Amino acid sequence: MKAAWAVYCKEIVDALRDRRTLMVVLVSSVLLGPLVLIVLSGLLAQFETQAEKRVVVVSGIDHAPSLKNYFERQTYTVRTAPKDHEDLLRRSKLSEPVLVVPEGFEDALLHGDRPVLELVSDSGNRQAEVGAGRVRRLVEGFARERGALALALRGVAAEVLEPVEVVGRDLASQQSRAAQLTAMLPFFVLMAVLYGALNAALDTTAGERERGSLEPLVMTPVPRAALVAGKWVAVASVSTLIAVLSCLSFLPAQWLLQSDTLQATFQFGWLEAGLFIVTLVPLAFALSALLMALAIRCRTFKEAQAASSVLLLTVSMLPLVTLFNQEGEAPWHLWVPALAQQTVMSRVLKGEAVPPDMMAIPLAVCVLLSVAGVMSVARSLRGAAVR
C-alpha cells in the first residue's frame, strides 16, 4: 500500500512536469470545446437574425410602386440595391438576394403583360440562398394578391384559383436546433477524458520500457499489483483532472454565447457539471486501464501510439451511433462504454431525469473493464520488463 502510494506520487509528479504535453492536451481538449460552442453560437445567432430580418433588397423599386406598397404592407423594409450587387453577391459580400425590377414594370402589370422580375442570388453564397426563398415567397404572395383581386373584380371567388390549401407545420422548434448544437458537448468531454489519459498511460508503460526503467522497477520487492495500481490510479487521476477542467470550462463559456435561443436552452450549471463528472470518472478509470493494457505490450512509445489509435478511434466514433441511428436511445447503448456516457450526458443536457440503472450499468461495465485491464497489465509487467 505504501509502495503503491509512492508509485502514485511519482507518476503524478512526472505527468505534471511534462508541461508541453499537458499544455497541448489542455488547449486541444479543454479549450477547444467551449471555443467551438461559442463560434457555433455566433453562427446560429446570425441565422436567427437573418430569419427575423424583414428586409428586401431591390434594384429599380421606383419602377414598381404597387410592389413597394405590398412590401411595406407586409412590414418589410425596402432597401435599394448597390450598383455592383452582382459582384458583391459573387464575393459573398452581400448577404441578401437582389430583386431586379425592369423598367416599365408597372405599365406591363396594368396591361397584364406578365412582366419578369429577376431574383439575383448566388448558390455559393449560403446566406443569400437562405434569403432567396423568403423573397420568392414574398413576390409570389404579391402575384397571388394581384390575381385574386383581378378575379374578385370579375366576381370569381379566390378559392377557384386555389382549390387546395397547404399549410406547413414544422415540428422542429428553434430549441431543437439548439439542442443539435449542444449535442456535441458530451463528445468534447469524452475526448478530454481520452486525451488526458493517453499520454500518461503510454508514458507509464511503453515509455518505461523504451527508457529501460521498467526492468529496475520490477526488480524492486514491490508486489506487481501495487506497482500497477499506483500507476493506474495516477493515470486515471490525470485523466479525471482534464475531464473536470473540460466540464468546468463550459460554465464560463455559456456566458459568451451570442445566440439567445442557445443561451435559453443550454442549461449547464454546477449540477450538470457535477453529473457529467460523476458519469465520466468511471470511464476515466476504465479507459486508463485499457490504454495501459494495450501499451504495455508495445516496446516503444511510438508503437504504443499506433496501437492506441484504434482505441481512440473507436471511442470517438461510438457516440456517432446516436447520430446515425435514428431510433433514439436503445437499451444496449448503456452497455457500451463511451456510448453509455454519451447517452447519460445528453439526457442530463436535455434536463431529463437519469434513473439509477442508467448510472449503474455503465459503472458496472467500467469496473469490469478496469479489473480486466489492470490484471492484464500486472500479468505482462515482468515479461515486458525484459526486452
2 binds other proteins (CB under 8 A): yes
Point out which span in 206-214, 245-253, 297-305, 318-326 binds other proteins (CB under 8 A): 206-214
Residue among 86, 122, 215, 303 that touches other proteins (CB under 8 A) = 215
Write out the three cell numbers for 231: 500507476
**Closest CB 45 distance from other proteins, rounded Å:** 45
Cα separations in angstroms, 386 against 57, 208, 217, 321? 76, 12, 11, 42
Rounded CA separation 287/370 (Å): 8
Rounded CA separation 78/309 (Å): 56
Nearer to other proteins by Cβ, of 111 and 302: the residue is 302
1 binds other proteins (CB under 8 A): no
Nearer to other proteins by Cβ, of 213 and 314: the residue is 213
55 binds other proteins (CB under 8 A): no
The total of other beta-carbon atoms located within 10 Å of residue 364's CB is: 13
Cell 508514458 belongs to residue:
203
How many residues make up the chain in this entry? 387
106 binds other proteins (CB under 8 A): no
Residue 330's Cα: distance from chain center in Å? 21
295 binds other proteins (CB under 8 A): no
Determine the straight-line distance between the first and last CA of the chain, rounded to whole angstroms. 28
CB 273 within 8 A of CB 250: yes
Residues 14-33 vs other proteins: string with x where CB under 8 A?
x--xx---------------
Point out which span in 205-213, 244-252, 272-280, 331-339 binds other proteins (CB under 8 A): 205-213
Rounded CA separation 324/69 (Å): 48
CB 244 within 8 A of CB 277: yes
386 binds other proteins (CB under 8 A): yes
Residue among 185, 190, 202, 214 that touches other proteins (CB under 8 A) = 214
**Closest CB 203 distance from other proteins, rounded Å:** 9
220 phi/psi in degrees, rounded to 5: -85, 155
Residue among 54, 79, 211, 350 that touches other proteins (CB under 8 A) = 211
Nearer to other proteins by Cβ, of 176 and 213: the residue is 213
CB 368 within 8 A of CB 283: no
Q: Which of residues 223-252 bind other proteins (CB under 8 A)?
A: 223
Q: By the criterion CB under 8 A, which residues form the site for other proteins?
A: 2-3, 6-7, 10, 13-14, 17-18, 208, 211-223, 382, 385-387
